[in-house]
Chains A and B, each alone.
Chain A
Amino acid sequence: MLSRIGNSLFWLGRYIERAEHIARYTKVQYVSSLDAPYAQGREFVLESILDMIGISYQYYASYSQLTDEDVLFFVTLDENNPLSIHSTIGYIRENARGARDSISLELWEAINRFYHSMNNYTVVKLHNEGIHEFSQKVEENSSVLKGCIDNTLMRNEAWMLICLGIHMERAIQVARILITKVKDIEKIDPAKLGGPVENYQWTTLLKGAESFDMNKRHYKANPNRRNSLEFLMFNQAFPKSIAYNLDVVHKNIQQIAFHDEKGSNSLDFMAGKLAGQFKYTTIEETEKQVTEFLTSTLDKINQMANKLLEKHLIY
């Protein structure tokens, strides 16, 4: 397979996953803040959204004030924001077009439908239907695309590279969500923590990563700091957890069997070491310095992605 095609497939997976997470996080944060127990300023929620996506700086370059309308538009439909959901869906289609001969007709058509439905989405419609409706469409379409990926593609390098992109991006997005929410909570006046205020924050964290329901069933307890972090970081059986996704990333890298250098510099070694670290670390060891731990994890994932892109997917 040409490296250029491989590159398109890898980014196809990453952008599908990224659009979904940005949409869901924005929806959950914004909608749940509407009746939050702790009367946070709206700005608190809007900043949390911009921070998770990592676009605060870009936002303030275009807008002087933080308003609901501006932030929601900037995150969703703004064509001038290269990290908006609209732009991200454009990249999904571009990458799919570049790898058209390696994916199925079904997947290509589903991507096209998604793209066209988003292209026709107007600001007025966003305003009338609200962010909930918009994000719901993105999440549903994302599920359709992943359904096509799983049900219509051969289990060859094309499929593996898309999956590699999806799972690597999911580990990144979940880590970003965790870092953002832990920092959000640290900003709250300690006197007000505990009870419903903190409970609310852990609930939105879990919902923002589509994990609330499964967390409750697993722990049979209300969400708290420890079980929320443990569930999303270390649970080997839960498909949103970082541990689960890093394990899939490692397996995909082994299956693709890149002709790699051996030893501690190889992609296989990097991916295996990172997955192993998550497999054999407990929440007790990390919870005191969780943002540092997660930030260093993000660095390692990025190093791995760069290695992959520069060594095997460069053209």
Chain B
Amino acid sequence: MTQSTQHQFTSDVLTNYPLNLALLDEVFNKEGKVNTHYTKVLDQFSCYSVEDFKELNEHAKLSFFNQGVTFAVYSDKSKGVERIFPFDLFPRIIPAAEWQRLEEGIIQRNMAINWFIHDIYHEKLILKDGVVPAELIFSSKHYTKAMLGMKPVGNIYNHISGTDLIKHSDGQYYVLEDNVRTPSGVSYVLSNREAMKKTLSGLFRKYNIRSVQDYPQHLLSMMQSVAPESADNPNCVVLTPGMYNSAYYEHSFLAHNMGIPLVEGRDLFVDKNFVYMKTIYGPKRVDVIYRRIDDDFIDPLVFRPDSVLGIPGIMAAYREGNVTLINAPGTGAADDKAVYSYVPAIIKYYLNEEPILNNVHTYRCELETDYKYVMEHMEELVIKPVDESGGYGILIGSRSTKEERDEFKRIITANRRKYIAQPVMSLSVHATFIEEENVFEPRHIDLRTYALLGKDKQFVLKGGLSRVALRKGSLIVNSSQGGGSKDTWVLEE
């Protein structure tokens, strides 16, 4: 990581790269030299003129259109506005040793979270031992009574996890969020790789890059591993809310690549506690459902009665062990941002191991001392509601006005359980092609990883989605807030 080489730029797009020494740059070290694992990329890019680069960029975008990788915004039944998720040609590279450690950390963390979910719906030992306050769990809106005493196949709850990581200015990775409900975005990882291979094939020859294309196979074998024992040749399906859902492309992509049916709630029904899909030849039993519908909507008999997306009676079939739901309902009680702060303790409690990945220090406003600290140091902190996602409802102290802070103090005091605070983390930056200006500039990035837990098997996708905050200086990488993405290359030894 510290090794680097002096670089001579001949390309216009890189000559005036505005290196900011206050930030950790993934590509350049503090002396402005290129980190060794990036030299071959820089060598190649240096051969390109601005025009070449623009052309490559357009070429890559076209690949997305042709693959149909688009976000759809529908105004009426027949007319859709389709746009592509902004994509950057400069790959993010992670050296083998660095990745190895990350992968171990991701598995460790998600295994511990799995034990934790099991525990809070069974013996509740961790709560009885006072390691995690019981009140914190029972007050979570995602804590699901219908899961009490429920034992899913293989004892797996968070089959698919999307752990979000950042690299801080100290050079260490920190976990920002454990997404253990229905993490999305993996189709972009695979499509980004396709676009990159078509656009920069020469560069791939110079590196040994781990493949990401085997993700659908691993996903399917994970699904099969947790099928009910009564199913000989398990019928696995992907359940989507429908073609007007913004992530429909991903649902259809995954089903298509696994070669399994993509179903909607209206395609399924429950009879005598078994789930069936309606086919042109009559009902066919369904054994494993990768559902991309939130808990609230999955069964109108148990959760929201007004849901038209779900399948009445599916929870009863699930509790009978006649169908497997992926992920299990009620996992959300473990990815609440207040529970997040206990994950290091959760790892020690169940695995008796030191956490491999760092947690960002978190102040829990419900604790008296933390609450006081937050009230007094608001300018230095980021305040987050515990149960929102997508970057909504956040206050960044250093960029707020006094009025905004006073307003937040009032709402935190009114509902202390709902808020946590963290020091401002400095996300690393990465050179990114800025279309409007035709130059590379540093932009903040994070890393969404994808881990699978099956019956006696664990898998982490060798790569992930490096999300880019495209707006200059912005720290928010979510696609709903103007984020883009990069292909992420994990190197072989």
Contact = CB atoms under 8 A, between A and B. Distances in A.
Interface stretch (A36-44, A61-69, A89-97, A224-232): A89-97
A184 interface: no
A258 B281 contact: yes
A306 interface: no
A161 B280 CA distance: 10
Interface in B94-122: none
A259 B281 CA distance: 6
A315 B278 CA distance: 6
Interface residues of A, number: 23
B279 A94 contact: no
B280 A315 contact: no
Given A94-B77, A157-B280, A101 B255 contact: yes
A1 B281 CA distance: 8
Interface in A1-45: 1-4, 6
Given A2-B261, A119-B79, A315-B267, A100 B252 contact: yes
B202 interface: no
A314 interface: yes
A239 interface: no
A312 interface: yes
A244 to B, nearest CB: 25
A55 interface: no
Interface in A80-100: 90, 93-94, 97-98, 100
B243 A1 contact: no
Interface string B63-86: 000000000000001110000000
A179 to B, nearest CB: 31
A313 interface: yes
A315 B261 CA distance: 15
B24 interface: no
Nearest to B284: A2
Interface string B260-279: 01111011000000000111
Contact of A3 (B77, B255, B280): B280
Contacts of A100: 252
B267 A4 contact: yes
B282 interface: yes
Contacts of A314: 278
A100 B279 CA distance: 17
A161 B282 CA distance: 16
Interface in B39-91: 77-79
B30 interface: no
Interface in A93-122: 93-94, 97-98, 100-101, 115, 119
A259 B279 CA distance: 11
A94 B78 contact: yes
Contacts of B124: none
B78 A90 contact: yes
B361 interface: no
- Secondary structure of the A contact surface, majority rule: helix
Contact of B266 (A4, A93, A258, A312): A4
A2 B256 contact: no
A51 to B, nearest CB: 27
B380 to A, nearest CB: 50
Contacts of A6: 279-280
Interface in B109-154: none
Given A94-B77, A101-B262, A315-B267, A3 B279 contact: yes
Interface string B276-319: 01111110000000000000000000000000000000000000
Given A101-B252, A101-B262, A315-B266, A1 B77 contact: no
A256 interface: yes
Contacts of B264: 4
Nearest to A92: B78
Contacts of B267: 2-4, 315
Interface in B193-208: none
A129 to B, nearest CB: 23
B68 to A, nearest CB: 9
A258 B77 contact: no
Contact of B277 (A2, A90, A101): A2
B282 A259 contact: yes
A157 B279 CA distance: 12
Given A2-B263, A4-B278, A312-B281, 11 more contacts: A1-B279, A2-B261, A3-B267, A90-B77, A97-B243, A100-B252, A119-B79, A157-B280, A259-B281, A315-B266, A315-B267
17 contacts: A1-B280, A2-B277, A2-B279, A3-B278, A3-B280, A4-B266, A6-B279, A90-B77, A90-B78, A94-B78, A98-B243, A101-B255, A256-B280, A258-B281, A259-B282, A312-B280, A315-B267
What 6 A-B pairs are tightest by C-beta distance, nearest first?
A90-B78, A6-B280, A3-B278, A312-B280, A1-B280, A259-B281
Interface of B: 77-79, 243, 252, 255-256, 261-264, 266-267, 277-282
